[in-house]
Amino acid sequence: MNLKLHVWRQAGPEDKGGFVTYQAEDISDHASFLEMLDVVNEGLIARGEEPIAFDHDCREGICGSCGFMINGQPHGPLQTTVCQLHMRTFEDGAELWLEPWRATAFPVVRDLVVDRAAFDRIIGAGGYISANTGSAPEANNIPVPKENADLAMDAAECIGCGACVAACPNASAMLFTGAKVSHLGLLPQGQAERDDRVLEMVLQHDEEGFGHCTMHGACQTACPKGIRVDWIARLNRDYRQAKTRRPGEAGLVGA
Amino acid sequence: MELNARIPSGPIQDKWTKHRFDLKLVNPANKRKYEIIVVGTGLAGGAAAATLAELGYNVRNFCFQDSARRAHSIAAQGGINAAKNYQGDGDSIYRLFYDTVKGGDFRAREANVHRLAEISLNIIDQCVAQGVPFAREYSGYLANRSFGGAQVSRTFYARGQTGQQLLLGAYQALMRQVAAGKVKMYTRHEMLDLVVIDGVARGIVTRDMLTGRIESHVADAVLLGTGGYSNVFYLSTNAKGSNVTAVWRAYKRGAGFANPCYTQIHPTSIPPSGDYQSKLTLMSESLRNDGRIWVPKQQGDRRAPHEIPDSERDYYLERYYPSFGNLAPRDIASRRAKEMVDEGRGVGPSGVGVYLDFRDAIQRLGRDVIADRYGNLFEMYRNITGDNPYEVPMRIYPAPHYTMGGLWVDYNLMTTVPGLFAIGEANFSDHGANRLGASALMQGLADGYFIVPLTVGDYLATAKPPTVDTSHAAFRDAEAEVARRQDALLSVNGSRSVSDFHRELGRLMWEYCGMARTADGLKLLLNRIPELREEFWRDVRVPGSGATLNQSLENAGRVADFLEFGELMALDALERDESAGGHFRVEHQTEEGEAKRNDERFSHVAVWEYREGAAPIRHEEPLEFEYVQLAQRSYK
Ligand SMILES: Cc1cc2nc3c(=O)[nH]c(=O)nc-3n(C[C@H](O)[C@H](O)[C@H](O)COP(=O)(O)OP(=O)(O)OC[C@H]3O[C@@H](n4cnc5c(N)ncnc54)[C@H](O)[C@@H]3O)c2cc1C
Ligand code: SF4
Ligand code: FES
C-alpha cells in the first residue's frame, strides 16, 4: 500500500519545527506502524537525509517508549500503542499527519520525541511503598483479598506512555497519577503512606505544569492499556480524605 | 587471566550463610564516602542501584531509554520462580537447585545455583512488600502455576505482565532514592567505554544521547546490568535497543567473556513476515499445552491448512517424542521446527513456520474453554498477523530469546577486572547451557537486591580504592577513543544503512550459529564476519551529526560491536566441540538426534581473554558436580 505522510520535523528543542511531506511506498499491510516508518527512514538515509526520530524499544506495547499523534489521535485510531498498530488498519492511499505529544510538561526533544521525565518525578514524589530491601515479612503473612489484588493490577498496567496527557484538553496527567495512587492504595502494604502519597504526587503533578482534570474523559479513550477514569475518582477521594486528616499540609486545593 | 571462582567451602546449603558472615562490611558512616556506578535499570541494575542507595552509598545509575522504567525486563511475561512450596507439592530449595542444574545441562556452577534457589524466597517477600500485585487465590494467598516443564507449581505471576510489575517495583524503589538524592539518574546516556586504572575498574565514559556530549564518570566500583545480546541475530524477542556494547567494551578492557555461544532459542514466536520485520514477538509457551504442532508431509504443499487431511499431516513432535509430544523442551522443539523448514515443509507465505493447531482442542473442549485459557494470546496473534487462530492454525517459528553467556564472574559476581561487577543477564550466570522458564527474573533480582549489595561492600572494605578523578590520563584516553570512533562512523559516508548490515549479520549468525551448528558452518562464519566488518567500516552510511539526538549513530555503534562480538561467539561455538543445552553441534548427537555432551572434555566454563591485534585466549574454569549426578537428558 501507499500513503502520504505529513511528519512533524523539528531539529531540536529550540527549533521551530514544521510539517514535511513524505510518500510511504510499497508498504506491506502486515507491517506495524513503526515498521512502516523504518521503511520510510531507510529511504531517507539512502537519499542522504536524516531519518525521522521517534522513541521505541520493546515494540510489543509494554515499555511505553513509543507514541505520537496520528491525525490528532494519540497512538492513532485504535486503542493500542503505535508499535502494535498495523498498517492494515489504514486504507491504501491514506493521508496521515504525525505529530509529537503536545504538552508544556512534555517538551519536544526532536521530531516525534518528547521529554517525559516529569512522570519519573511524579513517581519519585510518592509513587512507591517504602520497603527497604531485606525488611519484608514472609509474603503470605498478609493476605490480600483477590478482588483488591485484581483491581490493583488493573491500575498497575499503565505503561507510562503519556497518551492520556496528549489527549487531554488540559494536558492533565491525572490518569497516570490516579492509576499509581490507586494501585498502591488498594493494597494493605500501601496503607501507611497513603495520605502522604496522594498529597505529594498531586503537588508534584501540578508543579510539573500538567493541567487540572475537568473530567473530560479523553484520557481513557486514548489509553492503550484500558486504564479507567475510575482511578481519578479514587484519587480525588483519597486526596480529600488526606486533606481533611492533615489540613495545612502539602498539596494544591482543587486538584 | 586468573579464574578464581572463590566458592566458599563447606556443605552446599551452608555456603551462602557462611559467606555472608565472612564478607567484610563497610562502616555505615563510611558508606556515603563511596561512589558506585550502576549501568542498567532492569531488574538487576534497578534493584542493585536502589538497594545500594538504601544502604547509604552514592549511586549513579545509567540507562539508554528515556526512563528507568523502560528497561527490557518490562517485557517478561510468564513469571518468576521461587521455592516457597505454597502448594505443598513437594517443592524445596533443593529441588529448585536440582532442576536448574539439570535444566542447564550440567554446565552451571552448583554453588551459585543453590544460592539462587535460597534467595528465591526472599525475592517474593520483598516484591510483595513493595506492592507487586501478584495473582492471588480467593483466600487472599498467593497463587502459583507450573511453567517450563517443572513438575511442581512454583511460578509466581502478575497476569501476562510479570516482568512489568517486578520492574515497576524496583523502579519505584529507585525513584524514591532519586528523590532522596542518593541516586543520580542518567537516562538517555549510553556507556561506551570502561576505564581501568592500575588494573582496577574506576569508571565509565558515556555519551549523552540528546546533546552528544562525551563524559567521564569516576567511581569506586562499577556494576554492569546491561542485559543480553540476542540482538546479534538482528531478529529476536528482545527490545530494539538491547545490545552487547557495555559488556563488549568491558571485555576489551580485560574482563573475561564466558560461554558466548550459549544462546536460547524460544520455540513459539510469531514467524517473520517480510524484510521490513523489525523484531519477533513471543507467544507464550503455554500454548503448547493444547495446540498440536504439524507440517504437511509433502514438500512444498501450498494448500490451505484445512484442505490438508490428517493423513497428509506430520505431527512430528508427537511422532518423535511419543511421551512428551508437543511439550518437548525448548531447544528440542526449536531444532525440529527448523529441520521441517529446511526440508521444504515449512508453512505460511514465506515457508518459514510450522502450524500450531487448536482445531482438536476446540472440538474436544469447546471454543469457550480455549478462549478462557488463551483468549488474550489469540487476540494478540490476530492483531499482529491478521489471522484468526480459532479458525486457522497459528503459525509459529523459533526465535532468539535469551543469552546464557556473558561476562565471567566469581561467586561475588565480580568479573576478572577487580571493581567491575556483572549482574542479571549480562553475566554468564547460573543457567549453564540452557535456562529454564521463569528463572531469569529470579536471577536478576537475586543479583540486584540480595547478592551484589553485600559483595560490593566486601570489595570496597578490602580494596580501599585510592582517589582518582576524571583528569587522569586513562579517562582522557578513553574519551578520545570514544570520540574518534564516533567520528569514524560519521565520516564513512558509504552507501548501505546500519540496519542493512545488521540484518546481514543476523542472517549469517542465525544460519551458522543459531539452532544447529556445524564445524564447517562456523568456519565459514569466521571467514565471513571479518569481511562484513570490513565492508561496514568502508561502506556504512550514518547521516547527521554527533552533537544531537542521532538514532542512526547510536545504532551504528551497537552494530559495530555486534560485528566484533559475533566472531567471538562463532569461535566459542567452534571450540566447544560437543552439544550442550542450547548449543547443538550437529556432529554430536545421540542416535535419536538429541544433544550429546562430552563431559570428559567440556565440563568447564570457557572464558575468553581479549588481546589487542591477536587471537583471544580460551581459558577454562572446571565444573564439578558434587550434588547433582551427571546424566543424559531424555524426553522420549
Ligand atoms: C519477551 C521476553 C519474555 C521473557 N519472559 C520471561 C519470563 O516470563 N520469566 C523470566 O524469568 N524471564 C523472562 N525473560 C527473560 C528476562 O526478561 C531477562 O533475562 C531479564 O529481564 C534481563 O534483566 P536485566 O536486568 O539483566 O537486563 P535488562 O532488563 O535488559 O536491562 C538492561 C539495562 O541496561 C541498560 N543498558 C544496556 N546497554 C547499555 C549501555 N551501553 N549504556 C547504558 N545503559 C545500557 C538498558 O537501558 C537497561 O536499563 C523474557 C525475555 C523476553 C525477551
Ligand atoms: S494511563 Fe494509559 S495513556 Fe496514560 S500513561 Fe498510562 S498507559 Fe499511557
Ligand atoms: S515500543 Fe514499547 S510500547 Fe511501543
Question: What ipTM goes with this model?
Answer: 0.97
Q: What percent of chain A has pLDDT over 70?
A: 96
Cβ neighbours of B278 in A, within 8 Å: 32, 34-35, 38, 59
Looking at residue B332, its pLDDT comes to 84
Give the distance (Å) from ligand 3 centre to CA of residue A84.
8
The parts of chain B modelled with pLDDT lower than 50 are: none
Give the distance (Å) from ligand 2 centre to CA of residue A54.
18
Atom 2 in ligand 2: residue holding the nearest Cα: A223
Residue B439 alpha carbon, nearest atom of ligand 1 = 11
Cell triple for residue A182?
Answer: 490507586
* Tens digits of residue pLDDT in B191-240: 999 999 999 999 999 999 999 999 999 999 999 999 999 999 999 999 99
Q: Is the dihedral of CA B324, B326, B327, B330 positive or negative?
A: positive
Looking at residue A249, its pLDDT comes to 55
Which residue from A28, A36, A58 is facing B72, i.e. has the nearest CB? A58
**CB of B81 within 8 Å of any CB in chain A?**
no
Question: Does the active-site annotation cover B330?
Answer: yes
Which residue from A11, A65, A132 is facing B70, i.e. has the nearest CB? A65
CB B268 near ligand 1, within 6 Å: no
Looking at residue A253, its pLDDT comes to 47
Q: What percent of chain B has pLDDT over 70?
A: 99
Q: Which of A163-167, A219-223, B267-271, B331-335 is predicted with the least confidence, judged by mean pLDDT? A: B331-335
Q: Which residues pair with B183 in a beta bridge?
A: B59
Which residue from B66, B168, B449 is facing A116, i.e. has the nearest CB? B66
Where would I find the H helices in B201-329? 245-252, 316-320
Q: Is the dihedral of CA B178, B183, B184, B190 positive or negative?
A: negative
B624 CB burial (10 A radius; 0-12, 13-18, 19+) = exposed
Q: Which residues pair with A6 in a beta bridge?
A: A21, A97
Count Cβ atoms below 10 Å from residue A189 Cβ, excluding itself. 20
Candidate from A158, A216, A228 with most ligand 2 atoms within 8 A of CB, to mutate: A158
Looking at residue B148, its pLDDT comes to 66
* Tens digits of residue pLDDT in A120-149: 999 999 999 999 999 999 999 999 999 999
Give the distance (Å) from ligand 3 centre to CA of residue A161.
8
CB B441 near ligand 1, within 6 Å: yes
Count Cβ atoms below 10 Å from residue B96 Cβ, excluding itself. 28
Q: What does each C-alpha distance from B394 to B121, B356, B364 come to in angstroms?
A: 37, 5, 18
**CB of A84 within 8 Å of any CB in chain B?**
yes
Looking at residue B360, its pLDDT comes to 96
pLDDT at A255 over 70: no
| B:323-382 residues touching chain A, CB 8 A cutoff | none
The CA distance from B578 to B599, in Å, is 9
Looking at residue B149, its pLDDT comes to 62
Looking at residue A248, its pLDDT comes to 61
Candidate from B72, B240, B553 with most ligand 1 atoms within 8 A of CB, to mutate: B72
Looking at residue B323, its pLDDT comes to 80
Q: Which of A9, A6, A10, A54 is nearest to A32 (CA)?
A: A54
Long-range CB contacts for residues B472-475, cutoff 8 Å, separation at least 24: B472/B197, B472/B202, B474/B195, B474/B196, B474/B197, B474/B202, B475/B195, B475/B203, B475/B205, B475/B216, B475/B218
Cβ neighbours of A201 in B, within 8 Å: none
Cβ neighbours of B170 in A, within 8 Å: none
The CA distance from A93 to A1, in Å, is 7
Q: Which of B605, B550, B567 is nearest to B244 (CA)?
A: B567
The CA distance from B194 to B250, in Å, is 6
Could you say which of B95, B207, B292, B330 is catalytic? B330
pLDDT at A250 over 80: no
The CA distance from A33 to B591, in Å, is 47
**CB of B383 within 8 Å of any CB in chain A?**
yes
Listed in sequence order, the residues at least 6 apart from B138 whose beta carbon sits closer than 8 Å to its beta carbon are: A146
Give the distance (Å) from ligand 1 centre to CA of residue B420.
19
